[in-house]
Structure 1
């Protein structure tokens, strides 16, 4: 599978492709008695308890026209709000289907979602907002809050989707880095990154008279004092990405006003290698040559053989 950038190229089938993230493992038990969600949602025929892999019956009759969220069991803690991160185990099925089109239970890896930060279908965002850690939900999502008239993979156009979702973990993420040691940027051959820590997108100035580095550059701009990241960590960041060639912005988490959460082992090598060992609370300059990014293949607004420049604020380790 092609590795991704946190915002530019998204993940599992509930997004655009097929990978999920996280550490916590859910039970694969189907031993619970069946239950019927309130409001006419499809029956959970086995694995009804939080943490168990569920099975779903077909929906009966016409699906709801609007988003429908039923709390099967409620957890504890503060409700999820914009900017929070959630690890979610899920099973997804078509309203009129009898087999899942995707589930994270078999992978043993909950999926990371930033509330209010985009990255997933709108039905997920609306369903998760206000829920608590430890809650199990059953949700029906109409086409306009899912994949609409386009469909996606095994999901046909105009499909109503049904999900069972377990909120495995909820984490509050700071909006910006605080403090830290500002590092002198003395190398005139490298981009200069702004050092304001007001939560706004920092300025990135790429030298127009210098050739792009051929090796990965990973330098502190502001060095925080948090934990050093490991390759297996899931992190929350704010970032902006530009092309070395013309300085154009091709991706930015700031446009949504929310950080992005992702596992280091699920991003392009320039990110996974460049951020490993860096401390939480830091701002990092990454210059990613093509062989550490997307190589000879174009990727959306990124032309083939592009050198990429990023300013990355490491907000939290999940």
Structure 2
């Protein structure tokens, strides 16, 4: 059904954004700022009513930093509180304009309509400083250290739902992580410091990560010891922070597995 801008429950905001409050959450729910990480369910359609995306259909919510989506979402979700369910009309200037994503049913100039449930304004993730203190330097002889045939070693710090999915065949994953040189403890990369999880195909990483992620499920948090031959090998990262033949230690938290279909 096309959007009715004159509907009696339609409210207007800056830039042509319009919305209808379908349901309100409990009082006291948090409202996000533009830099917050949020968890939502949503259904997206063109203003003519053609569906192009739905987390409801996939059966799982999505999480993202609010300032890294289309402007209409960044603006609109700041009007909401946790538990709210809104319907948004987003004009093309606050959506994809004349450059929609390739292959999408969205055409240049399309206005969009989204139903959005704001599930949670998420607390920023931080690395586990106690775990780093405990496992630096790495000691392979500790009884809790598990080892695989490849040389990968890991310690389970926390476990998610054991019935949760593990990634298969390169499925996309969302993870928080911090990486350090095993021999010195020097930090070289951290999604925690950036304030947002990393999202990538689970099979397009260093081999130690590929092997570990295939064993992990959402909610799992592990310390990984990755020998050089499962990491960056004899080359390291030329011009970067990882020297040749350097073993690495990572704290990895599996946030989500984006199952196909």
Which residue does 1:196 correspond to in 2? none
Higher helix share: 2
Distance in 1 between residues matched to 2:94 and 2:150, nearest whole Å: 39
Which residue does 1:259 correspond to in 2? 196
Matched ranges for 1:29-40 at <5 A: 37-39=9-11
Q: 1:225 Cα shift?
A: 4.0
Distance in 1 between residues matched to 2:125 and 2:90, nearest whole Å: 30
Cα 1:287–1:114 shift into 2, 3 Å: farther
Distance in 1 between residues matched to 2:88 and 2:135, nearest whole Å: 46
Distance in 1 between residues matched to 2:31 and 2:82, nearest whole Å: 8
If the length of structure 1 is used for normalisation, what is the TM-score?
A: 0.47
Out of 127, 137, 147, the position equivalent to 1:176 is 127
Please tell me whether residue 167 in structure 1 is matched to residue 105 in structure 2.
no
Q: 1:276 Cα shift?
A: 4.3
Superposition RMSD in Å: 4.5
Distance in 2 between residues matched to 1:287 and 1:160, nearest whole Å: 51
Contact 1:240 1:252 in 2 (8 A): yes
Distance in 2 between residues matched to 1:116 and 1:102, nearest whole Å: 18
Distance in 1 between residues matched to 2:8 and 2:24, nearest whole Å: 16
Identify unmatched segments of 5+ residues in structure 2.
Answer: 1-6, 141-148, 167-172, 180-188, 204-209, 231-247
Which residue does 1:143 correspond to in 2? 92
Please tell me whether residue 121 in structure 1 is matched to residue 70 in structure 2.
yes
Cα 1:171–1:156 shift into 2, 3 Å: same
Identify unmatched segments of 5+ residues in structure 1.
Answer: 1-34, 42-63, 188-214, 242-250, 291-308
Which residue does 1:104 correspond to in 2? 55
If the length of structure 2 is used for normalisation, what is the TM-score?
A: 0.55
Q: How many residues align?
A: 197
Please tell me whether residue 238 in structure 1 is matched to residue 161 in structure 2.
no
Out of 14, 20, 24, the position equivalent to 1:74 is 24
